[in-house]
Structure 1
Amino acid sequence: MKTLLLVDGSSYLYRAFHALPDLRSNEGEPTGAIRGVLSMLRKLHKEYPADYSACIFDAKGKTFRDDIYPEYKANRASMPDDLRSQVEPLHEAIKAMGWPLLMVDGVEADDVIGALAKQAEAQGIRVIISTGDKDMSQLVNDHVTVINTMPNAFRKGDEILDIAGVEAKFGLKPELIVDYLTLIGDTIDNVPGVEKVGPKTAVKWLQEYGSLDNIIANADKISGVVGENLRKALDWLPTGRELITIKCDLDSFDGMPASFESLMLQAQDKTKLAELYDRFDFKTWQRELGTDAKSDSPIATTELANGETRGLFDAPNTAPKVSQSAAPKKELAERVTTKVEYQANTNRNYETILTSAQLDAWLAKLQTAPLICVDTETTSLEPMTAKIVGLSFSVEVGSGAYLPLTHDYFDAPEQLDFAESLAKIKPILENPNIKKVGQNLKYDQHILANHGITLKGIAHDTMLQSYVFESHKSHGMDALAERHLDIKPISFEEVAGKGAKQVSFNQVTVEVASEYAAEDADITLQLHEAIYPQISTD
């Protein structure tokens, strides 16, 4: 059976931009999103070989959904300038790598993927969809599988959503995903659902009544506030379902490929790639083009000792094979001989901030410290929708504090007022003269911006430091702590649980959350002291 690999370029573009450090070329041109997406494509080509492939992006302009509901995606901020400037060169690089690239006016990338998946299914072609978009789960069936190669703190390896995977993740079969999403709504796309109805209630109703249509037919039998809210939403739900449903019939839209034969990977344009890699300062990939000049493969890969490929998102346990396509031997030798030893501090003096006096005392520390560590604890890893649960700080090794703000489990202790606390902290966070360090501060920067705070004074980021020092290794905080400090930090799963039993951070007890969050800030400060001296003279 032949295989079609469809890549949701738009999904990975945004995720790469938000997930990766602010990488730039020597000329100051932002390159993080480009690097992330290209790394993912290289990884996919190696690990999911296919007869046909395509990378699909949203076209510019409005879609049919805007005609149905003018408020569709109206809550989204405009694309950041640093991301917008990367789109066109990214498209150039993808095409130079030999990948077919598709954009269809009037519809979204999801719809193009859905239409191609249905066409392939009809022809007996197996389909793999690579995306981080949960909406794609509605397309899963015996012939269609969704994979998510973007790593996160809660999962090791790729997420595979076949029929069983969808049921395990959502508690529902794929054919009920549209009904499920219609009920809970989609805050990212500004599609309202039923007020106060979350995933658990939606799953319960669908398991009991079997479909959204049956829920609507039995709306008068559902009691309580949620039942009342359901009845208020009855007129809206058909529109919500239409917005959520991926449009799989695009015969009337121009730009769809005439046949799958046009979606075969082509030989890469090495001259163009060399030009782009030089512009982006992707030196390792640029070297590969020279060493792989006689290769018949359309896509160049970075080979490791175990035969795997690696990219910016990968975290292999083995070092790269030392060759012309890896770091020069002399450079690696110099890194080893100039290693700076750092002795981790295991003393802990952590504090939970529950009173105004405690907060004022910590604000005074933050104002006078030469370098402060700042970290946000949130309800999710999605920067566009995550809500602040609390903030943690550290000003010296071995110390840390956690300011809980929105823990709302039963019997949670009284916490300081959310708005007043942020107003007090804001001048410090926005002061460019107060130097900050963090682990992936780009994420915290987005979260704080969602609450009207512009984080300034960013001096160091341990994730970026790690990438500069050891690009081939994992850059997660837990891995860094074990590698550089010989410390095994408290894991997220230890505090929030695993799998279906995992709770949002606002449901973690303040006592447990405080130990976890304050430790994060303390360890990040220690990681800076351990890694930075090893790269500051490079």
Structure 2
Amino acid sequence: MDKKKLMIVDGNSILNRAFYGIQFLSNSEGLYTNAIYGFLNILFKYMEEEKPDYICVAFDMKAPTFRHKEYEQYKAHRKKMPDELAVQLPIMKQILAAMNITVIEKEGYEADDIIGTVSHRCEENDIQCIIVTGDRDSLQLASCTTRIKLTTTSKGVTKTEDYDEAEVFKKYGVTPRQFIDVKGLMGDPSDNIPGVPGIGEKTAFSLIQQYKSIENIYENIEELNGRKKQALVENREIAFLSKKLATIDRDVPIDIRFEDCRIKDYNREELLSIFRKLEFNSFIKKLGLEEVKNITGTAEEEHQHITSMEMLKKVVETVIHKKELTYLLYTQNMQADYPVIAISIALGPSQAAYIDFNSDLKPDEAMAVLKPIFEDENIRKIGHNIKDDIVLLNQHGIKLKGIFFDTMIASYIMNPSRSSYAIDQVLREWVGENIPSMEDILGKGRNRISLYEIDKETAVHMGCRQVLALPKVFNAIDAKLEEYGQKKLYYEVELPLVEVLADMQIIGFKVDREKLRQFSLMLDERINEVTGKIYALAGEEFNINSTKQLGVILFDKLGLPVVKKTKTGYSTDVEVLEKLKGKHEIISLLIEYRQLVKLKSTYADGLLNVINPQTGKIHSSFNQTVTVTGRISSTEPNLQNIPIKLELGREIRKMFIASSDEYVLLDADYSQIELRVLAHISDDPNMIEAFNKNEDIHKRTASQVFGVPIEEVTPAMRGRAKAVNFGIVYGIGDFSLAQDLGITRKEAKQYIDNYFSKYSKVHQYMTDIVELGKKQGYVTTLLNRRRYIPELQAKSFVTRSFGERIAMNTPIQGTAADIIKIAMVNVYRELKRRNLKSRLILQVHDELIVETHKSELEEVKEIVRKQMEQAMQLKVPLVVDLNTGDSWYDAK
């Protein structure tokens, strides 16, 4: 019969190594989780590998141990446990308790001593002992029945070395017990064990291999000579003290009952609660803590499968009576550009309908019946990702009205740092509903199927369960919006914006296809021309896009200085090429080549591929839930990323034109909005005065930073002051400013110091906001938009500095984002209210583009200027620059 097996984990050692071995990791509230995550990965890995019968974890206690009494300096220089790790320790113990894993601690003893004692008891009871630790000291415990799993974690990867008695001797040439003598001689700086001065690791092992123990060395001390002998003679007491300190106590007075350590079932509810808080979804899934409830839901729920017009009309009657439409739309493959193939609607707290268009229902006829309830403003709508719903319903000739609550947008407001706001994740987070995701049901990749192909019963129950959970999410998040003071942000800004963005997507932006095609051909010619010049300078043809081949040409053949190397060879990235500028004329050509290739592939050809053949327009998707700052983003394609620093990049804007000769493009751009927000938030009198007097803020800054009269400020000075102004908004340091301006760090530091001496309130704001962020874990915009910044608690200086820059910038950039969103909503509403033909079609950073009917131009200019400049009342005026043109390029 196989021996029983006990696994004991060195809690402090593994937690510590996980903390330092796994990069920064936290939950959305900023609670550090990397040590816990790493610990659990190691724990589960070894539990699966070893399959122990018993398990326990040993931890140190804060109280001094017998070793401190023996030697006052024992571990005296050890740094205090980092706060980021300390907060994880009690949570780790809670998790172990929920897993019903025994934790053993004893005042006056270290975890090593507990481990030694447990392994000793195992030997006495013929139980195999597995010790999981990152501490080499434990090798002294290896025996024929005790095996050490020596664990290291680096960059999230765990490596293990297994040692029994034979393996220790094979690697080190000493027995496990002799390891103590080695440490007694060489000492251990990490524990402040002194050892014998002058005896290093190599000498210590050599002596013990020869004499077997410290005692035997001193019995034969006359056989030694020179410095080695002198050191040993002079430090005899230290040698024996060090050995004593290094010896693990294997007889700690603790009551160990193996049955208490037997592997038990987890407290699933408690463990699930903790893992949810930590956002350990992978562990929740791994342990099956959220076993997917029966897809059919509870016995109390009634799920109706609507397949006839008669049934559908009853659903509509119920919705009209309720005055509320809580719904979800489903499309083939769940893509927004496909027609609707099913709709789930909540009819009551536990009653829902799944309207199946893949049945006897004809989609067009069914949509005609549903149209009145979707278009009735008096029936409030609760949905998830309503912007896409508006676009989808528009394809069916339906104008969605009466938007009341969007669970996706609300979830984003609560935590803008999430990577996904998919409905299954939102339901799980806010109401604990573990309903299968579309990916779970449809699959992914090549194996993905469409909704048409899944089992009808599964589709019905999934749709009904999801839609029945939406009102619960509404109740939960609405209460939080109230608690966080975010109702205005949500109900007056973000929710109304949903309709605005959907309308912009539906309208689209006209593109001159032929002009864009000619532009692509021109880029082809330029690329070929530049390629020929590169080949000529290189003296041979090669693959310019191959980093390896380019590296050989630049650094081996042309002999240029190597700037940076990677694991695979020379680096030739843009940073390297910029540093090599001026060293050889091939460099500027390579930079130009890359710019041309990028313009052609991403913008010229990329845009040609997404022009809608029916409308001749690009219908970009505008997103509210992507950026952590609150700014709007666009995808498919990203119109906010069109390059403007290069003249050829700006040329692309010429392809974006008004939809007909009756229209012109009106471009409205906020002037220095982030600096104006900074003036307001910091309450800096100098900055406020400059804006209120309508002065050139960059010229004024140059005058103050460089100490010259304003009339003597040169364009170069103004340019540098501008870089400082905008750099300050993003928390720039002297290193980055020096790089941006091509000056020394000393000069850059002087610029920043001069700036803060003149704008002292700005400096005070930067200091205060960082401290506030550290204290509460987040910072807010003027409208209470939150951004959690766990980076502020990071142990890494680089990460912490990044967090400080986020704290400084978020209230500024986020407030600017809030302002432009308010302006968009107000401009959109006013154009609608006046029943004008002009329409908002694009938002990029701080500018809006309104496709304006020529007959309405002056009226629209007045509307846009008023709504943008009055979007938010600040201590300084908001100023908007208006320009018009037949193309986007001309309107700038």
TM-score class, shorter: 0.5 to 0.7
Q: 1:208 to 1:149 in 2, by over 3 A?
A: closer
Residue 344 of structure 1 and its aligned partner are, at CA, apart by 6.4
Q: Distance in 2 between matches of 1:107 and 1:246?
A: 10
Residue aligning to 1:236: 238
Bigger helix share? 2
Q: Residues 292 and 436 of structure 2 are in contact (CA less than 8 Å); yes or no, is this contact kept in structure 1? A: no
Residue aligning to 1:65: 67
State which of 87, 90, 106 in structure 2 corresponds to 1:88.
90
Q: Distance in 2 between matches of 1:399 and 1:174?
A: 56
Note if 1:246 corresponds to 2:425.
no
Deviates more, 1:176-185 or 1:199-208: 199-208
Provide Cα deviations, 1:124-147, integer angstroms capped at 9, x if missing partner: 111111111111111111111111
> What does 1:369-388 align with in structure 2 at a 5 Å threshold?
none
Residue 95 of structure 1 and its aligned partner are, at CA, apart by 1.5
Residue 208 of structure 1 and its aligned partner are, at CA, apart by 1.8
Q: Distance in 2 between matches of 1:63 and 1:272?
A: 33
Q: Give the secondary structure class of the aligned counterpart of 1:158.
A: strand
Note if 1:291 corresponds to 2:291.
yes
Note if 1:46 corresponds to 2:48.
yes
Q: Residues 27 and 278 of structure 2 are in contact (CA less than 8 Å); yes or no, is this contact kept in structure 1? A: yes
Residue aligning to 1:201: 203
Q: Residues 182 and 237 of structure 1 are in contact (CA less than 8 Å); yes or no, is this contact kept in structure 2? A: yes
Residue 219 of structure 1 and its aligned partner are, at CA, apart by 2.8
> What does 1:396-411 align with in structure 2 at a 5 Å threshold?
396-397=575-576
Q: Residues 122 and 128 of structure 2 are in contact (CA less than 8 Å); yes or no, is this contact kept in structure 1? A: yes
Residue 156 of structure 1 and its aligned partner are, at CA, apart by 8.8
State which of 253, 258, 261 in structure 1 corresponds to 2:259.
261
Residue aligning to 1:7: 9
Residue aligning to 1:35: 37
Q: Which amino acid aligns with 2:148?
A: V
Q: 1:324 to 1:248 in 2, by over 3 A?
A: farther
Q: Which amino acid aligns with 2:86?
A: R
Q: 1:179 to 1:291 in 2, by over 3 A?
A: same
Residue aligning to 1:172: 174
State which of 107, 110, 117 in structure 2 corresponds to 1:108.
110
Q: Distance in 2 between matches of 1:21 and 1:331?
A: 31
Q: Residues 345 and 397 of structure 1 are in contact (CA less than 8 Å); yes or no, is this contact kept in structure 2? A: no
Note if 1:345 corresponds to 2:343.
no
Q: Distance in 2 between matches of 1:246 and 1:189?
A: 13
Residue 291 of structure 1 and its aligned partner are, at CA, apart by 2.8
Q: Distance in 1 between matches of 2:439 and 2:283?
A: 11
Residue 272 of structure 1 and its aligned partner are, at CA, apart by 1.2
Q: 1:85 to 1:326 in 2, by over 3 A?
A: farther
Q: Distance in 1 between matches of 2:546 and 2:98?
A: 46
Residue 218 of structure 1 and its aligned partner are, at CA, apart by 2.6
Q: Give the secondary structure class of the aligned counterpart of 2:547.
A: coil
Residue 455 of structure 1 and its aligned partner are, at CA, apart by 4.7
Q: Which amino acid aligns with 1:289?
A: L
Q: Which amino acid aligns with 2:547?
A: N
Provide Cα deviations, 1:84-120, integer angstroms capped at 9, x if missing partner: 0100011101121221111111100000111111111
Q: Give the secondary structure class of the aligned counterpart of 1:62.
A: coil
Q: Which amino acid aligns with 1:205?
A: L
Provide Cα deviations, 1:402-425, integer angstroms capped at 9, x if missing partner: xxxxxxxxxxxxxxxxxxxxxxxx
Residue 327 of structure 1 and its aligned partner are, at CA, apart by 8.3
Note if 1:125 corresponds to 2:127.
yes
Q: Distance in 2 between matches of 1:179 and 1:167?
A: 14
Q: Distance in 2 between matches of 1:14 and 1:63?
A: 20
Note if 1:97 corresponds to 2:276.
no
Note if 1:281 corresponds to 2:279.
yes
Q: Distance in 1 between matches of 2:291 and 2:207?
A: 59
Q: Which amino acid aligns with 1:290?
A: E
Q: Which amino acid aligns with 2:240?
A: P
Q: 1:230 to 1:20 in 2, by over 3 A?
A: same
Task: Flag structure 2 segments of 5+ consecutive residues without an equivalent.
Answer: 295-434, 449-543, 568-572, 580-731, 737-790, 804-892
Note if 1:192 corresponds to 2:191.
no
Q: Residues 132 and 151 of structure 2 are in contact (CA less than 8 Å); yes or no, is this contact kept in structure 1? A: yes
Q: Give the secondary structure class of the aligned counterpart of 1:189.
A: coil
Q: Distance in 2 between matches of 1:124 and 1:118?
A: 10
Q: Distance in 1 between matches of 2:545 and 2:800?
A: 27
Note if 1:222 corresponds to 2:220.
no
Residue 237 of structure 1 and its aligned partner are, at CA, apart by 1.4
Q: Distance in 2 between matches of 1:36 and 1:118?
A: 28
> What does 1:443-454 align with in structure 2 at a 5 Å threshold?
none
Residue aligning to 1:311: none
> What does 1:412-451 align with in structure 2 at a 5 Å threshold?
434=735
Q: Distance in 1 between matches of 2:93 and 2:52?
A: 21
Residue 210 of structure 1 and its aligned partner are, at CA, apart by 2.2
Provide Cα deviations, 1:265-311, integer angstroms capped at 9, x if missing partner: 221111111111111111222343113899xxxxxxxxxxxxxxxxx
* Higher relative contact order structure (alpha carbons within 8 Å, sequence separation ≥ 6): 1
Residue 123 of structure 1 and its aligned partner are, at CA, apart by 1.1
Q: Distance in 2 between matches of 1:28 and 1:166?
A: 42
Q: Residues 17 and 153 of structure 2 are in contact (CA less than 8 Å); yes or no, is this contact kept in structure 1? A: no
Residue aligning to 1:487: none
Q: Distance in 2 between matches of 1:85 and 1:17?
A: 12
Residue aligning to 1:74: 76
Q: Give the secondary structure class of the aligned counterpart of 1:23.
A: coil
Residue aligning to 1:463: none
Q: Residues 195 and 226 of structure 1 are in contact (CA less than 8 Å); yes or no, is this contact kept in structure 2? A: no
Residue aligning to 2:658: none
Q: Distance in 2 between matches of 1:395 and 1:147?
A: 45
Q: Residues 53 and 264 of structure 1 are in contact (CA less than 8 Å); yes or no, is this contact kept in structure 2? A: yes
Q: 1:187 to 1:214 in 2, by over 3 A?
A: same
Q: Distance in 1 between matches of 2:183 and 2:240?
A: 12
Q: Give the secondary structure class of the aligned counterpart of 1:145.
A: strand
Residue 456 of structure 1 and its aligned partner are, at CA, apart by 6.6
Q: Residues 33 and 88 of structure 2 are in contact (CA less than 8 Å); yes or no, is this contact kept in structure 1? A: yes
Larger Rg: 2
How many pairs align? 344
Q: 1:53 to 1:432 in 2, by over 3 A?
A: farther
Q: Residues 291 and 325 of structure 1 are in contact (CA less than 8 Å); yes or no, is this contact kept in structure 2? A: no
Q: Which amino acid aligns with 2:143?
A: N
Residue 211 of structure 1 and its aligned partner are, at CA, apart by 1.5
Q: Give the secondary structure class of the aligned counterpart of 2:143.
A: coil
Q: Residues 434 and 457 of structure 1 are in contact (CA less than 8 Å); yes or no, is this contact kept in structure 2? A: no
Q: Residues 136 and 150 of structure 2 are in contact (CA less than 8 Å); yes or no, is this contact kept in structure 1? A: no
Residue 223 of structure 1 and its aligned partner are, at CA, apart by 2.3
Q: 1:266 to 1:457 in 2, by over 3 A?
A: closer
Provide the identity percentage: 29
Q: Which amino acid aligns with 1:54?
A: C
Q: Residues 284 and 327 of structure 1 are in contact (CA less than 8 Å); yes or no, is this contact kept in structure 2? A: no
Q: Give the secondary structure class of the aligned counterpart of 1:22.
A: coil
Q: 1:324 to 1:41 in 2, by over 3 A?
A: farther
Q: Which amino acid aligns with 1:283?
A: N
Q: Residues 152 and 158 of structure 2 are in contact (CA less than 8 Å); yes or no, is this contact kept in structure 1? A: no
Q: 1:87 to 1:456 in 2, by over 3 A?
A: closer
Task: Flag structure 1 segments of 5+ consecutive residues without an equivalent.
Answer: 295-322, 337-341, 352-360, 366-371, 376-393, 401-430, 436-441, 461-538
Q: 1:105 to 1:324 in 2, by over 3 A?
A: farther
Q: Residues 22 and 153 of structure 2 are in contact (CA less than 8 Å); yes or no, is this contact kept in structure 1? A: no
